[in-house]
Structure 1
């Protein structure tokens, strides 16, 4: 309500604008007229006084030459007829150029005034002050300056005339403003009354929502167009409301019939959601089982390789021991038959030493393989932390992968401080490095005879272990690189690839090791994995 009270109405705005314009125009015109008339009045009285002074000066010239001031003052007494003249002085200029008082006129009842010779230059031009006008004019005789005439005239008639003129102008101005106000009020009714009627209809429609009302036609073209447009709008709104009411009725009828359908479909949807949740849970279990199978598959593959690798030294040891048994049996027979020769005993000792060396070397080799495999197997099946040297862990990993690595000619270069000893979970690190190396062997070095793997390991100041794994293989396509850690992403679909290797790596690093892994690769330029995870540094064991 406060905003509505402060807002100007069209009626008051129209009256204000018209009256302001009219007032300004009348004030300007009245001011200009008054200024012109007053200026004219002043010019007229100055002209009269100046003319009078010149006439008196011309008539006084002969008397100034004769130095007859008595006749002059008698002649000046005739100025009683000029009521506006208050005082008049005539000054005579002597031969030495000095001015002397010659004659004067003072209006009856007017006190004499002192000589004005000291104001000669000041009053050479007419000067108005209060109710008087003063002027000094020169007196010439045959082009010789013989004196001056000083006239002091009353401006009461001028002031009275100016006051009358101002009163008339103000009266005319007030009458014109009153007429303008009357015309404005008359004109604004023809404009504002139709608008006010239209506003009333709009307010009624907005408040009562009665769209049956219609605005009346107006004699003004613009307002008539507005009224017609407003009526059309009300007609369309009324039609729209009618159509909406019909649609709502139809919606209510449909809603009644749809409630049963919604109820039945809601029941079906709940059952479907329940089945979906069960299926999703089974899918998660299946995925976890597949990931676990992937871990066990790599361990089983390692078992087969290590078993095959251990079989060779053990077989050689068995052969050497069998040979020793045969030689020992023969030596026993010769000894029992008392046919043992020194040469035979020396030969037995020599062959025995050779066979024992063979047995020792092969059994020691088998023991190393079994020890490395045992440690790797224990690490892979355990996520407990332990203290280890990183180079030793990598040696155990590479030893366990020897059956795979000896079949290829790829180089694996480890760049790591030999004294770097940390406390962390060896199992996840073991599994991560095996999966990355196998990923390079299977995918990166496909159709490549001699590849290279570089593993750079460093410990940051914040106890963050950084592993940069790089190979110079064929790289990863850009579209696959963006989702390389997603499950079931593989380029060996249908060729034995499950697509879970790098997904398992990502889970081990982010969950088991609380770290991060990033990949960068360009097709044909190899691949680089950057792994970071927190560790606890230890002194060298």
Structure 2
């Protein structure tokens, strides 16, 4: 644990809690006591003053009725016995539209006659008020005729509140002194109680620190007179006992480990030597396996090329055979014409028929020789691309058409449709051979696997630029799709659905290697079983050109 963190001790926490609760309780109680005493003193002051005012009002009732102010003033002079009375005024009531008029007054020596109180009589009658920051108390009461109970006027009384303020001050100081004394007693009691509670805790803490430094787990903590601390001491002793057992077992285990390590060193040395030999043999076997795999992949490529050669050779035989037949017929007709010419029996009709037949045969020879030349040129370019790893510039549509033309011998007996969607002016520079082999493998996979038991399938090849230096090739078919257990391993070697039926399982593995290694691109597959398949191939190109 770090020493930078602020820590609270049980001592300070105990003192803070006890003193906070005590201070809050004393503050609340003292405030309530002071408030109650102030309220009592003020009630007493108001009661005494109201009693004097009522006495003055009762004695002034007869004099107000007789309108003899001298007698009222003589009666008011008796208020000199009440030292706290400063001013006493008797007001005579007028009609309702006029304010009461002062009739007689008493002013203590040194006090002036107060004026302007006529408008405050009703308010002071309802609630006496402390004036001039609490130095005086002002109140009023009505003067009634004792016989008719008719209001004759008002009595205004102003008394000093010095005695009230002195009592309030004494009460506050007394409560404050009592609170401080109780706080001192509480602090002393809290300190004593804190020592009783925290003393055993400190002893246990010191014991644990000493035990931790000395690592003497055989020591035991002493009990306490406090139940909870005694339980803590028992728990500490149980922990020390278990730690002592654990340390003993650890020492025994370390001893066993030392003996075991000593006996294992020779065994590890022998096993290491055997493992090195096994690893060397495994590396050699793995190299042979890779070599065998590369040989199989190369054989697969050459087998594909051989199948294409056989198909193109068969396809070339037809136009060449037609050309030979037409040329033989021309030679026969030429021999007949030459004989008639030599015998001078040549007729114009025979010459015309010869010319027509010659024109027809020469057209046949030209068309078939041109067809054979196209097939041979396409096959030558495809064969060069398949065996070459160099980059060249080419028109993408022309390359795809050449590939489809080379596959025509194998596809002409089938009713499948192949649609090519590409900008006819799109030209790029990249390796044509891998693209050639990729499309051939994908098309043949669709024909053999995807369109199995299908009379007419559709293949869509879409090529587009996704940026200035990336070409995207999307190959889709509407075949039966790929099962999920095969799709997740489709690019692994020797994965095929035609096991034992001539399928090597290297076609898609070859496609994956050509895309990722030869073209430095990526390939992904989507589609569910029964919904066909879609391959998305993206690879970099250079010098991409298009009319757009």
When residues 55 and 254 of structure 1 are mapped into structure 2, their CA distance, relative to the original with a 3 A threshold, is same
- State the match for 1:8 in structure 2: 8
Residue in structure 1 matched with residue 279 of structure 2 by the alignment: 273
Structure 2 counterpart SS, 1:519: strand
Q: TM-score, normalised to structure 1's length? A: 0.77
* Residue number among 203, 209, 212 corresponding to 1:203 in the alignment: 209
Answer yes or no: is the 8 Å Cα contact 2:76–2:88 preserved in 1: no
Aligned residues, how many?
526
Unaligned regions of 5+ residues in structure 2, if any? none
Per the TM alignment, residue 435 of structure 1 is displaced from its structure 2 partner at its CA by 2.2
Give how far 1:11 is off: 2.0
Match of 1:29?
Answer: 29
Question: Distance in 1 between the 2:255 and 2:326 partners?
Answer: 102
The answer (yes or no) to whether the contact 2:87–2:113 under 8 Å persists in 1 is no
The answer to whether the 8 A contact 2:451-2:457 is kept is yes
Answer whether contact 1:475 1:523 (CA < 8 A) is retained: yes
Q: Indicate how the Cα distance of structure 1 residues 53 and 261 shifts in structure 2: closer, same or farther if over 3 A, else same.
A: same
* Residue in 2 that maps onto 1:20: 20
1:427 alignment counterpart = 433
1:47–1:439 Cα change, 3 Å: closer
Cα offset, 1:279, TM superposition: 2.3
Distance in 2, Cα, partners of 1:326 & 1:79: 174
* Cα shift readout 1:366-409 (whole Å, capped 9, x = no counterpart): 55554443333222222333444555545544454444335545
How far the C-alpha of 1:500 sits from its partner, in A, is 1.5
Gaps of 5+ in 1: none
Measure, in 2, the Cα distance between the counterparts of 1:539 and 1:23. Answer: 92
Q: Say whether residues 1:246 and 2:245 are aligned partners.
A: no
Matches within 5 A, 1:130-529: 142-143=146-147, 155-309=161-315, 369-390=375-396, 392-394=398-400, 396-406=402-412, 408-414=414-420, 422-457=428-463, 462=468, 464-529=470-535
Give the C-alpha shift of residue 477 in structure 1.
1.9
Distance 1:266 1:98 in 2: 128
Change (3 A) 1:395 1:341: farther
Given that 1:90 and 1:147 are in contact with CA atoms closer than 8 Å, whether structure 2 keeps it comes out as no
Equivalent residue number for residue 115 of structure 1? 113
How far off its partner does 1:10 sit? 1.9
**Secondary structure, counterpart of 2:525 in structure 1:** strand
SS across alignment from 2:281: helix
Q: Aligned pair in 2 of structure 1 residues 12, 498: CA closer, same or farther (>3 Å)?
A: same
Listed one character per residue, the Cα deviations across residues 206-229 of structure 1 (whole Å, up to 9, x for unaligned) are 444443343332333333323322
